[in-house]
Structure formats: structure tokens, C-alpha cells
Amino acid sequence: MPLDLQVRPAALRLCPRPSGCTPACSATADGAAQRFSHRASNGRGTLTRVRSEGYRVAVVGATGQVGSLMLRLLRERRFPARETVPFASERSAGRELDGGLIVLPLTDETIEGFDLALFSAGGSTSGEWAPRFAEAGAIVIDNSSRWRMEADVPLVVSEVNPEALDLLHADGRRGIVANPNCSTMQMVVALKPIHDEAGIERLVISTYQAVSGTGRRAVEELLAQSHALLNDREIEPPQEYAHQVAFNALPHAGRFADGDDHTDEERKLMNETRKILGDPAIRISATCVRVPVVTGHSESVNVQTRVPLSPARARELLREAPGLTVVDDPRSASYPQAIDAAGRDDVYVGRIRRDPSHERALDLWIVADNLRKGAATNALQLAELLHARGLLAGVPAPGASTARSAA
């Protein structure tokens, strides 16, 4: 007998808090004090500007999954923005977002006068518009893959290599900071303390990546397929993936380039990890798998170190590291799970054990919310670091007596 299951994206519990990831979830006690501009006035779409101390912040790709989360985190984390302006495609221009923000199109006129621009709009948009924002005086934090491997663009994870931000204003720098890929991001947070202690020689990685990493339409496709199959109906031909993703596992996250047996997602893991850890000698093998999970990437990582490191010492290092939560008591079935990481900013690590086939290797299980720490949260953390280091124009860094002038 078919199961009468009605599945709607809004009904999914993506956050472990009782209320789920709703607007109330991100509310802060002083949320009313966080000021935004380009608000609708009296329901007529009139633009008004609110002036106070703080930065002018652009969010490019503001209607997407990560862009909308960036807007929410600006409020949630109380970033000192006097004005926040959402940008998106021409078809979204004029749309009113939560809080009354009005979406603007990208033009030479609308991008002037920003201190900071947060990008999550895809590689082609970043390739064209990130340099224009930078030339107009903004620091750009870009979530696409467009700039990550450029030699003059720092690729930064807040807990791993924040010192790379100090190179932003060196001669010849573009004024762009790159956010790593989501699967790279969570992994290097866990690898950093191990690399500092024992050196990493080789990594063998298998990822199990949520469909939200592909985008909203992939989430909708998973839900539609699940609903159809549970009600004994045929599914529509897949649009987002090569095959059905519901009740399946696809060893095909990303795209295959001509002549390459690895996907671009696997290449990102290899190349970005070496750049962030500052060690081109690390040998890396990766297999990226797409699984029918909405939110939260999981990774099995075999770490071969240059000197021996015990599981007990690894746990100690990981417990002391910023941005990490160790969940590692397998006897009580306590280990990181995607459902528990959803809606949270930490990276979770567990199943820490010695590899019985190698005297200098450990196995780890690493999980994080791919939309938060894997994208939007790290971008906000980088913005906070830029502010704290006095690398943004217009507002004094904490403890500074004068504001830094624009570079």
C-alpha cells in the first residue's frame, strides 16, 4: 500500500534547535539594532538609507542558499554594517527579501562605495564582478572556485591560516579573498592541529556530500524523487544529477573534465588542501560521493603523518583546536552525524583510531554543515578577522585609535 507522504522543503528540520532553521532561529537580542539599508518603505518599495557607524556591505548572490544565509549571519553575528545591500541577477532585481531589503542588479553605478563584498554567485559572476568591486575599493570574499588557486589571491579558513589575510594589501594583490570548497573547508579545520604536531605525508579521502551543495533545485529533486518512490510512483527524469539520487549513492560529485578520471570536486580537495596548509608535498587521493542527505557533508579521512601520532594525542589536539567539537565514544554510539551538524557552525570529528595497516596513520570521521561552516559562516568569520586586523576601510579595528584609511 503506498505511503501517503507529503514532503515539503519548508517542513524539513535542517537545524537541531527546537524551532528549526526559521527566521526566529537567527534572531538576536539586539537584532533591531542591526541596521540595514535599501529597505522597502510603507510597502511601496521606496529606498531609504540608514546611516550609522559601520561598513557598507554588498552580498552578491543574495537570493541563493548561501547568499541568503550570509544576510542572516550578518545579523546573527552582529557584524558592524551600517548598510547591507543585496545583489542578484536582473530577474531578481526589485525583489523584497526578509527584513525589507530590496535586491539590486549589478551595474557599474550600483557597486560603488562598498567596504566589503560577500560573493556567492558562481564562478562567471565572480570572474566579472569581483575585480570591479575590488577596483571600486571593496575587499571581496568570494565563495566560488574562480579565484581559489590564483597565486595572488589568499585562500583562507579562519581557524587554519588567518595570517594569509595580511597579504591582501601587498603590492600586486587583487583585494580578493577566496573561500575554499565546502568539503575542503571542514577537513582542513580538523587536519591543521595534526599537521602542526606531526606533519601530514598522505591523505586518502572519501566524502559523502549533501545535495544542498549542488543547490536548491537538487534539494527539490531529492524530495520529489523520495515522495514519488515512497508513494509507488515513477520519478521524473533526473535533471541535477546523472542518475536518481534518492535512496542511492553517486560516486560522481562535481564534473568530469575531458581526459581526467577525477571530478573537479576531487581536484578541489587535493589542490586547495595543499594551498591552505602551505605544503605542496602532501600526497592526496580523493573520491567524492553524492548521497541523499539534505544538509551536512561527511568525510572519511585516512591521515598518514611524518612522525607517529597516537589516537589519544590526536584527540587532545583536536579538543583544544578552535572551531572543532570532538564526538568520539563509539561504545555509546556517539560520533558525528550530518543531522546533528545541520544548523551549527562547528566542525565535528570522531571515530579517531589508528590505521592497523600503517604505523603512522590515523582514521578520522569529519562532519559539518556545508552551507554554514562550509560556506557562509567562514565568509563572515573572514570578514570579522578583516575588521579585527584593521584591513577594512571606514571603521577602527577593536582597540584601534583611528580608522585605517582605504588602501
Helix%, strand%, coil% for the chain, nearest 5: 30, 20, 50
CB atoms near residue 365 (< 10 Å): 21
> Taken in order 369, 372, 375, 379, is the CA torsion positive or negative?
negative
Catalytic-role residue among 182, 195, 288, 387: 182
DSSP letter for 171, please.
T
Q: Which of 38, 195, 297, 387 is an active site residue?
A: 297
Residue 302 C-alpha from the chain's centroid = 23
If one counts every other C-beta atom within 10 angstroms of the C-beta of residue 312, the result is 9
Spatial contact of 116 and 134, defined as CB atoms under 8 Å apart: no
CA distance 143 to 156: 11
State the Cα–Cα distance between residues 216 and 294, nearest whole angstrom.
Answer: 10
Outline where 237-301 has alpha helix (H): 264-277
**In the chain, how long is the greatest CA-to-CA distance?**
72
What are the helix (H) ranges across 155-210? Answer: 182-198
Taking each helix axis from N to C end, the angle separating 182-198 and 311-320, rounded to the nearest 10 degrees, works out to 120
Is 227 designated active site?
no
Is residue 108 a contact partner of residue 132, using CB atoms and an 8 Å limit? Answer: yes
252 flagged as catalytic: no
Dist CA 403 CA 3 (whole Å): 62
Cα–Cα distance for residue pair 229/220, rounded to 1 Å: 14
How many Å apart are CA 103 and CA 91, to the nearest integer? Answer: 10
Count CB-CB contacts under 10 A for residue 42: 7
Catalytic center residues: 182, 297
